[in-house]
């Protein structure tokens, strides 16, 4: 049985990217909109890591922000454990808010530089009225610091006294303080050195096992999600073009875009495979190509791909949005 924790249906986000009204009138320009996320449906199962992968600008952060409620939806629906996030009442929303958290890419920007680490980590506890006494709160903060591999004494320091990797540990401790079940991680290691990246990824995996967490893990880099993800969704210009089990996606990629991304990963196993950087540029999302938006970069595109948007094709192995892909 699939036990779905987060269910996203037909999620769409449109941004108004017009110039200010006066400029538009003078320059006789129309209003411009940008579809950052276009009809995305996916489900995240309890206890798994669902990875969302795509080049910069493909809509990953926009999806993350909509799921955690930092950004409104233009269309679609998000369910968390069976509760529709767009219409909960006040008390329900409060109870829900405690159950998920987000970790951002840049641990330098996401931690308040004027607060001591103690206060930063305890913030969700205060926000949700979770620890009544100060000593309970202090104890919890010490426990969290140790959980993420830091010392209980680090709590009295300020964020600038730590390295990037340690700051990300602090951000993780803060995210965990309200005991969430679900954590959205938006490029949590992209700002870190490679060796530090691996340590943080390992920590996140250990925490997942220990606490039974569910992750939405976002990255522009398929090689980063390789050892993290149970399932992977590939985004291109706001559309989900393929979803598959992690191992299956690497073994048997179906969408031509997924293949292109995989070919760009360095050949660490020294199999002699040729490494090819992705072909072509991402088109301007304000003026996306017709039909399948990947067609200008696609090695197997046909006339039909230029005209028509491919339907989603589902199979046991996952889903793919392509007329030409071989769908086993």
Residues at the contact surface with Mg ion, assessed by CB under 5 A? 60-61
155 binds, among ligand ADP, Mg ion, none (CB under 5 to 8 A by kind): none
Question: Site for ligand ADP (CB under 6 A): which residue of 5, 6, 34, 325?
Answer: 34
Asked if 59 touches ligand ADP (CB under 6 A), the answer is yes
Q: How far apart are the first and last CA of the chain?
A: 22
Give CA 256 to chain center in angstroms.
Answer: 22
Q: Which is nearer to Mg ion, 58 or 177 (CB)?
A: 58
Rounded least distance, CB 149 to ligand ADP, Å: 28
- For residues 204 and 227, the answer to whether their CB atoms sit within 8 Å is no
Rounded least distance, CB 204 to Mg ion, Å: 18
Q: Return the residues of window 282-301 that contact ligand ADP according to CB under 6 A.
A: 285
Sign of CA dihedral 312, 316, 318, 320: negative
283 binds, among Mg ion, ligand ADP, none (CB under 5 to 8 A by kind): none
CA-nearest of 96, 64, 103 to 80 is 96
Asked if 239 touches ligand ADP (CB under 6 A), the answer is no
Residue 189 backbone dihedrals phi, psi, to 5 degrees: -120, 5
Question: Site for ligand ADP (CB under 6 A): which residue of 49, 61, 166, 258?
Answer: 61
76 binds, among ligand ADP, Mg ion, none (CB under 5 to 8 A by kind): none
**Pairwise CA distance, residues 324 & 21, whole Å:** 43
Per DSSP, helices labelled H in the chain are 21-27, 60-67, 90-97, 117-127, 134-147, 164-176, 194-211, 222-225, 246-251, 256-263, 303-307
17 binds, among ligand ADP, Mg ion, none (CB under 5 to 8 A by kind): ligand ADP
With contacts defined by CB under 6 A, name the span among 60-68, 73-81, 90-98, 197-205 that binds ligand ADP. 60-68
Q: Return the residues of window 131-160 that contact ligand ADP according to CB under 6 A.
A: none
54 binds, among Mg ion, ligand ADP, none (CB under 5 to 8 A by kind): ligand ADP
CA distances from 21 to 24, 33, 319 (A): 5, 14, 42
Q: Return the residues of window 249-288 that contact ligand ADP according to CB under 6 A.
A: 285
Question: Site for ligand ADP (CB under 6 A): which residue of 57, 88, 164, 289?
Answer: 57
Rounded least distance, CB 298 to ligand ADP, Å: 20
Question: Site for ligand ADP (CB under 6 A): which residue of 6, 36, 117, 228?
Answer: 36
- Own/partner long-range contacts of 161-164 (Cβ < 8 Å, ≥24 apart): 162/117, 163/196, 164/107, 164/108, 164/191, 164/192, 164/193, 164/196
Largest CA distance in the chain: 68
Rounded least distance, CB 26 to ligand ADP, Å: 22
Residue 267 backbone dihedrals phi, psi, to 5 degrees: -85, 80
Rounded least distance, CB 104 to Mg ion, Å: 9
285 binds, among ligand ADP, Mg ion, none (CB under 5 to 8 A by kind): ligand ADP
Q: Which is nearer to Mg ion, 60 or 174 (CB)?
A: 60
Angle between helices 134-147 and 117-127 (to 10 degrees): 120
Sign of CA dihedral 116, 67, 47, 105: negative
Asked if 11 touches ligand ADP (CB under 6 A), the answer is no
**Pairwise CA distance, residues 304 & 319, whole Å:** 20
Positions in the binding site for ligand ADP (CB under 6 A) = 15, 17, 34, 36, 54, 56-62, 285
């Amino acid at each position: 049985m699939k036990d779905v924790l987060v269910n996203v249906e037909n999620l769409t986000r449109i941004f108004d990217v017009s110039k200010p009204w006066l400029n538009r009138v003078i320059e006789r320009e129309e209003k411009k909109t940008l579809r950052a996320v276009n009809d995305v449906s996916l489900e995240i199962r309890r206890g798994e890591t669902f990875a969302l992968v795509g080049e910069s600008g493909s809509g990953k952060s926009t999806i993350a922000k909509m799921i955690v409620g930092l950004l409104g939806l233009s269309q679609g629906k998000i369910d968390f454990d069976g509760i529709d996030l767009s219409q909960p009442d006040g008390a329900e929303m409060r109870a829900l808010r405690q159950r998920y958290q987000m970790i951002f890419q840049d641990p330098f920007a996401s931690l308040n530089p004027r607060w001591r680490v103690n206060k930063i980590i305890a913030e969700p506890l205060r926000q949700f009225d979770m620890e009544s006494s100060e000593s309970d709160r202090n104890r919890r903060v010490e426990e969290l610091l140790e959980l993420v591999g830091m010392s209980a004494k680090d709590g009295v320091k300020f964020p600038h006294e730590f390295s990037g990797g340690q700051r990300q540990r602090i951000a993780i401790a803060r995210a965990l303080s309200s005991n969430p079940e679900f954590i959205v991680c938006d490029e949590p290691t992209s700002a870190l050195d490679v060796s530090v990246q691996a340590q943080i990824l390992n920590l996140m995996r250990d925490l997942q096992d220990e606490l039974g967490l569910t992750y939405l893990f976002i990255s522009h880099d398929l090689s980063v999600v390789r050892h993290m993800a149970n399932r992977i969704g590939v985004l291109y210009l706001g559309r989900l073009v393929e979803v598959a089990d992690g191992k299956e996606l690497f073994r048997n990629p179906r969408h031509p875009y997924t293949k292109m991304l995989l070919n760009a990963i360095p050949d660490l196993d020294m199999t002699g495979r040729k490494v090819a950087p992705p072909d072509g540029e991402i088109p301007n999302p304000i003026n996306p190509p017709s039909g399948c938006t990947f067609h200008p970069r696609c090695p197997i595109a046909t006339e039909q791909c230029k005209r028509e948007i491919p339907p989603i094709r589902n199979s046991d192995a996952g889903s793919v949005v392509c007329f030409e892909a071989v769908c086993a």
